[in-house]
Amino acid sequence: MSNKIKTMLAVGACKASRSALRLLHRGGTTTPGRMAMKFDRNILETVSQGMDIIVVTGTNGKTTTSNMIEHALSGTGRDVLANKSGANLLPGVTAEFTSNATAFGKPKKHFAVIECDEGALKQVVPRIHPKVIVVTNLFRDQLDRYGEVMHTLEEIRKGIKMVPDAVLCLNADDSLTASLALDVPNKVTYFGIDCPIGEQKNVEISDARYCIRCGTEYEYDYHTYAHLGGFRCPKCGYRRIRPSVAVTEIEKVSSSGSVVRMRFGEDGNRNAGGAEDRDGSLENVGPGCRIPSAETEREVTIGLPAVYNIYNGVAAIAAYQAAGFDREEVIASLADVHSSFGRMETFRLGEVPIQMILVKNPAGCNQALSYLAGLGEDYQAVFCLNDRTADGHDISWIWDADFEKVCRGPHLKHAYVLGDRADDMCLRLKYADAEEADIEKVQDNAALIEKLKKSSVPVFILPNYTSMLSLRAALGAITGKQEFWKG
């Protein structure tokens, strides 16, 4: 078969199966991609050719960061393709591009923002040649699928090395993520937060306590959350590099968003290595250091709450300018960025306000729990825990998340629990000091919705991935919210 015919068959198969699946009210996110790849193994390369693409990967914040970039690009009138459904493995990404191509496989859009699974990066990026790759952060996540954090880091590194022309956009505050710069040929730019947030103590569970280069325990000038912050190795000199896009001060945090001060300048010396620092300058030593003359500062409003969305915002700005766009565009659009699918998404069930916060791993879950604990008002909480393949079969991470924060607080009035592993979650809450009488297992989404309708206080739902998908669909149907592929 000629290449042209293969391409046409692949596009046709992809589009036909996607339409068919959507008629059946299924998202159709991966099967169409698999079909396309069967007809033409190189289909993704063909249907993404010549596009300007930004890829976002990392443990937490992929979807929201992508959404922020996409919002800015489409808000300024550009035609953008994005895998909003969160199908971020090779078949899902393939389906998205193929569905947005002509029958001959020519891309219909010029720009793309793609969130990509860490393990799938090495399959996806060599086919789509992104201009920029953002790595948001690295935390323990789905250990049954990836093994350990170091293994995940290695997988990301493999992907990056395959596209040396892509600009890397890294979280300066994460010693794991930032270490990617140490041995890849790519140009690198950094984003981060210059100031301390929350309690300034070493966290009990850290995924990166010891220097990735020499094994010595890091010292911190300040912490933001989990293992993120102003790290430096006292022995080999590996340390946080002063990022070119950074938050310098958090002025206001509320449940509707944050107002922060940011500075924009140049990245510190990437080859900085303490005593080995080539130019011997003190440019890279974190807050309070010499400020390059070209630096500017301004206030930025991020229309989504919680600290991790500040990180997502600063990542989006760094990526946006690294891809050659005007950063003022993304800064302006961050103020009215809407939540993405299940991530801080709000619903109104009758009179009851509901917010859904996707939690998939201890770092993200702790952020969500801190958010609840800091609200200062009464609420009901819903915890949904599944253990399907997309969630990871291993749910032991719930014991690494600090449910104590909310269970011991005065404002959690009642907790509903559901999902394949509801019994495990009930047990976790019991050992986090919730009263057994306040923990109620619910059979399914329909039963839950009936209970929530009667709530006299706001409801916060913390589901993991597949439980979010099903609950989001059930809530969407009853509150009139659209299914993701229509949004």
Q: Give the residues lining the site for other proteins (CB under 8 A).
A: 140, 143-144, 147-150, 204-206, 209-210, 215, 217, 387-390, 393-400, 420, 423-424, 426-428, 430-431, 436, 439, 466
Please say which residue, 158 or 388, places its beta carbon nearer to other proteins.
388
Phi, psi of 440 (to 5 degrees): -125, 120
Per DSSP, helices labelled H in 76-169 are 90-99, 121-128, 143-146, 149-161
**What is the nearest approach in angstroms of other proteins to the Cβ of residue 393?**
3
**Cβ 311 to other proteins shortest distance, Å:** 24
Instruction: Considering the complex, state which of residue 178 and residue 262 has its C-beta at the smaller distance from other proteins.
Output: 178
Q: How far is the CB of 465 from other proteins (least distance, A)?
A: 12
Task: Copy the structure tokens of residue 105.
Answer: 């496989």
Q: Is 81 helix (H, G, I), strand (E, B) or coil?
A: strand
Q: For other proteins, which is the closer residue by CB, 297 or 440?
A: 440
CA dist., res. 187 & res. 435, Å (int): 53
Least distance to other proteins, CB of residue 209, Å: 6
Helices 62-75 and 307-322, packing angle to 10 deg: 50
**Measured from the CB of residue 390, what is the shortest distance to other proteins in angstroms?**
8
DSSP 402-421: -THHHHTSS-EEEEEEESTT
Shortest distance in whole angstroms from residue 417 CB to other proteins? 10
Distance in Å, CB of 345 to other proteins, minimum: 23
In the complex with other proteins, the residue whose CB is nearer, 427 or 474, is 427
Q: Which helix (H) or strand (E) holds 37?
A: helix 31-39
Q: What is the dihedral of CA 445, 396, 178, 225, to 10 degrees?
A: 70
Phi, psi at residue 220, to the nearest 5°?
A: -120, 135
| Least separation in angstroms between CB 243 and other proteins | 25
Q: Which is nearer to other proteins, 104 or 210 (CB)?
A: 210
- One-character DSSP codes across 259-287: EEEEEE-----TT--GGG-TT---TTS-T
* Nearer Cβ to other proteins (140/240): 140
For other proteins, the closer of residues 41 and 209 by Cβ is 209
Return the number of the residue (375 or 427) whose C-beta is nearest other proteins: 427
Question: Residues with Cβ < 8 Å from 149, sequence gap 6 or more?
Answer: 138, 139, 140, 176, 207, 208
Given the complex with other proteins, which of 176 and 304 has the nearer CB atom? 176
Report the relative pairing of strands 257-264 and 245-254 from DSSP bridges. Answer: antiparallel
Please, what is the minimum distance in Å from the beta carbon of residue 138 to other proteins?
A: 12
Q: By C-alpha distance, which of 222, 300, 238, 225 is closest to 264?
A: 300
The helix (run of H) or strand (run of E) holding residue 258 is strand 257-264
* Closest to 382 (Cα-Cα) out of 415, 343, 422, 349: 415
